Chain A
Amino acid sequence: MSQRMIVLSTFLLAASTAALVAATAQAQVIGPEMEPVVAALVGKGQGPLDGCTLASVRIERDHIVVKCACAGVEHTIELLHLDRAPAGGVRTAKFALAAPATATVPVPPTLLEALRVRVASGEGPFAWTGSRSATAEPIFPQAPSRPGEIRARTPAEAELAAEYERGFKMFVERRHPEALTHFLAMAKRAPEYSGVLGMVVANLAPTQPTSARVQELVAAAAAAPTDPLLQFVAGVAAHYSGHYRAPTREEKVRLYKIALEHLERARPAYDFEPRLFIYLAISSYRLGKQADAELFIDKAINLDHQDADAFYCRAEVLQFKSPKQAITDIDQYLELTKDTASTISASKKRRVQQMRAHLEARIRGAAAPQELWDPVHVDRSTGANMVEWIRDPKRFGTLVAGLGASLGAILIGVLVFRARKRRGTPTE
């Protein structure tokens, strides 16, 4: 009986711990269904805040940006998830309120407090959404320009164009695995068909390949060392795995090296493809090879002056060496993507605009350099997630009761065991 109790108690203890760990591994984002709620909680359409007018409210993926106009001065306040709260900051039950890191004009404490009260009174219906994706929404590669615009001169070209259209429809409908299979088959037969390799990349990236998937592709590439498509796919998969999934800098470096190795193998066969050079450039840059990166990215731009992603990537390559040029490249990216609403979301564009704003602040000396394009995707501070987890009374109460009961059961088991042992010991 006592041994069974010890086993049961240990199981309860393990189950509680497992539940705790599982619950902590999520970043918190704002789901699209929260948009009307956000408008209500900041009081859009309501009166002034501490004498200031609510100028605008903008939802980013994982925070809200509120701008207030106060006697000709604009103040920006961000509503962050609590696990991103700065020390000593202002909080409600669900938000931390803070001025952005790039703010140059301090926010009046009375305005901050007035907004806090308003948010606190209206945040009831709001809920953060747990997301397993990384700290910021990935910026997936843009789909190449549609070859339907290219006149098909032969029946074979017409057939390829129709096949491309079918695949493009899958891409637009976000059926990426299906579209990837489709375009891989197409690239095997006609790699030089305009945009095919680009569509392979455009559908591979959103799958955010895991390390295990990369291993499979690398193994397939090793089994067919002369197949440029397999080398290309392995290289791109490794690149995106490093970008989206790698939990440490070291893992990123390992995956970018794999990417570089396989993309170099595909280069002789695919030297017409701008995407190849984009990935060569970025993988090189992230491995610290600045000169190689600049050469590769310029080649990519030369191959396609209308490829918005090439400019975006050159901004990354030049962000520290020449931030002004990087800003120019971002402007070019935004210009080239302004009419592509079906494939580039508003939130992606906003993130790019934030990058631009950060670069400007860096030029002014108002912001410290930080990695914007390729942050390490760690679990957001286990300590902070733990605190947020504990704030749910159900979880906290269950944890305490579960662990307490387990501890009690273990001790009772030990006492019963010892009592039985004493009774069982023969007296002289």
Chain B
Amino acid sequence: MSEWTISPPWLEAAQLGVAALLLVAAFVCLPVALAGAWAEFRDDRPAARGLLGALVLGGLIRFVLAPHRLAMVFIGYRVTRDALELLPIAQYGAGAGAFYHAWFAVLPHDHASIMWVNAVCGWLALPLVATFAARVAGDRRVGAVAAVLAAATPMFVRNDTSEANLVPCLLWLFGGLTLFQSTLATGRRTPLLAAVPLLALAIVSRPELLVIAPALVVCLALVRPAVRPPWRDTACWAAAAVTALLVLPHALHVVRAFQSMRGLGNLPGVATSPVVQLVLSVVDRNALLSPTLFPVAFLGLALCALVLGVRGGARRPALVLLAMALAAFLPYFLDADEGNIARVHAPAGLFVALLASVGLVALWDRVTNRIVRGALVVVVVSSLLPSAVRLWAPTNEQAEEELIRDAHAALPQRFVLVRMQWPDKDRGRGGHTQVHFPDYLFRSGGKHGQLLAVSEWLEQPETSEAAYFFFGFRCYAAFRAESIPAPSGEDLHPLCARMRDEFTLTPVIEQTAQNHGDVWLRYYGDAPTLKVGLYKIGPLR
């Protein structure tokens, strides 16, 4: 995506105004939703203990055990920059960006701050997910099990400990859905009033939620007969109208972004046949069907849920959960690729996990043999392991992040830093190599850096400040299509080669790093090691 503004100033101002308003309302509405979760479980001690255990487990994993890592290949730096600057509004919408932007009032201007905020959001979402599942299934044990699965599943943990802006969306989404459930179950309008800002906030944070959120709300209304059918309730229609009005600026923004991205060729699902792309996304680029991304046992348990139903044998709640999983999955066919499916399929995976929790409780009720029950648990837990290994596998991007941190620590207060950045042109292989760099790190926290692209430096290599070259993994990155084999050797970018060949580079940090290859995206050559580091730029050779 280019740096061009998507929407005119008036539309950006409208989106920011709505986002700010909704964030203020969320201050009240989210605690109301969480209070509802507490009220749901307080009278059921075993289920409450299960939920508490899930919270402890989820907290331990997210705040202590699981390393916080960027999920997007170099794009996380851009997401952080967009959140710091707030304008122009990125193609996702204003909601999540404004949310992170507010947190930067007290947190360091660093992508690590976003990852910590996401971890908190992911953890706070656990009781809401539990409440949602318990109310859909009509069984609080399902809720407790759902919370445990959501707390421990590597795909969800990886998402929660990354910069993925879907994470706060899920918190707000489940907050809104549980409040809507309260209205359906009791007929009271107050929860509906609190649901609107949360649902609207989720919608204005991601473009696909314009479709997914309403679909989920409709599915929820079909689980069981409500005290007051929503399609006959004026309050529900009014809430829908208010929500639509609130998200209108976002919708206009998304339309503009869609047109722009289509023009740039950034939506493969539109360039090729949408039907073909849809089929491919279900069959081929589907994280939920990949045992190294999503626990295979969950699929089996989900199937059990569809066959056995919930307590009492009712199958409708399970079918509704399946419908929700599909609603959360299908819109991503437009831009799903191997680099992002682990993130974008997480919401669908969550609904499958809820379905799996229904299946697990149903099986648990039917199987009384302790050994069989124990084996069931072992199967479920062991199915988590392959995805844990894959999702935290070492990558060149993570090594780049560590090198950036080391470079930041090694640089003096004032400096010129030369690094790969636009307009350093891609090498003609599709032009989709992401070269975003965390410039914000080098202009804050006591650092006053002037950052230059390599091509800019090569045009006029003079400066009054000490100049350094960040020779990182992006010097070796070049996006290639699926059909093109990995180039042999280092595949060094010509601009980086010129820096190495034309200037005297004195190492400040130098590493011969292992080349982890194409873990998520096809970027690298097949050389076993790559030389990277931070170098002081000396005179021309």
Contacts and interface: CB of A to CB of B under 8 A. Distances in A.
B9 A124 contact: no
B345 interface: no
Q: Among the interface residues A43, A118, A399, A400, which one has the most CB atoms of the partner chain B within 10 A?
A: A400
B84 interface: yes
Given A387-B16, A393-B104, A396-B98, A91 B9 contact: no
Contacts of B20: 390, 396, 399-400
Interface SS of chain A: helix, strand, loop or mixed?
Answer: helix
Nearest to B459: A47
A48 interface: yes
B31 interface: yes
Interface string A81-102: 0100101111101000000000
Contacts, number: 118
B456 A117 contact: yes
Contacts of A125: 448
A394 interface: yes
B460 A124 contact: no
A393 B28 contact: no
Given A124-B443, A393-B102, A89 B27 contact: no
A93 B439 CA distance: 12
B27 A40 contact: no
A400 B86 contact: no
B347 interface: no
Contacts of A108: none
Q: Among the interface residues B13, B26, B105, which one has the most CB atoms of the partner chain A within 10 A?
A: B105
A403 B17 CA distance: 13
Interface string B81-113: 000111110000000001001111110010000
Interface string B454-490: 0010111010000000000000000000000000000
B23 A400 contact: yes
A58 interface: no
A47 B460 contact: yes
Interface residues of A, number: 44
Interface string A113-127: 110111001101100
Interface string A381-413: 001101100110111111111011101100100
Contact of A396 (B86, B423, B459): B86
A391 B85 contact: yes
A87 B12 CA distance: 11
B198 to A, nearest CB: 13
A114 B423 contact: yes
B124 interface: no
A268 interface: no
Contacts of A395: 105
B449 interface: yes
Given A45-B462, A87-B8, A404 B422 contact: no
Q: Among the interface residues B106, B109, B458, which one has the most CB atoms of the partner chain A within 10 A?
A: B106
Contacts of A43: 456, 460
Contacts of A154: none
Interface residues of B, number: 46
B450 interface: yes
Nearest to B422: A117
A340 interface: no
Interface in B370-396: none
A223 B9 CA distance: 52
A263 B294 CA distance: 85
Given A93-B85, A404-B23, A117 B453 contact: yes
Contacts of A114: 423
Interface in B1-41: 3-5, 8-10, 12-13, 16, 20, 23-28, 31
A87 B9 contact: yes
B254 interface: no
B451 interface: yes
A82 to B, nearest CB: 7
Nearest to A110: B423
Given A404-B24, A407-B25, A408-B27, A117 B423 contact: yes
B173 interface: no
B452 interface: yes
A66 to B, nearest CB: 16
A46 interface: yes
Interface in A170-197: none
Contact of A387 (B9, B25, B443): B9
Contacts of A394: 105
A386 B87 CA distance: 13
Contacts of A390: 16, 20, 86
A408 B28 contact: yes
17 contacts: A87-B8, A87-B9, A90-B3, A91-B5, A116-B3, A121-B451, A121-B453, A383-B10, A383-B13, A387-B87, A395-B105, A397-B101, A397-B103, A400-B20, A400-B102, A404-B26, A407-B24
- List the 6 shortest-distance A-B pairs measured between CB atoms, nearest first: A397-B105, A404-B27, A47-B460, A47-B459, A393-B104, A124-B443
Given A82-B87, A396-B86, 20 more contacts: A46-B459, A46-B460, A46-B462, A48-B459, A87-B8, A89-B5, A90-B4, A117-B453, A117-B456, A124-B450, A383-B10, A383-B13, A384-B13, A390-B16, A393-B102, A393-B103, A397-B103, A398-B105, A403-B24, A404-B27
Interface of B: 3-5, 8-10, 12-13, 16, 20, 23-28, 31, 84-88, 98, 101-106, 109, 421-423, 439, 443, 448-453, 456, 458-460, 462
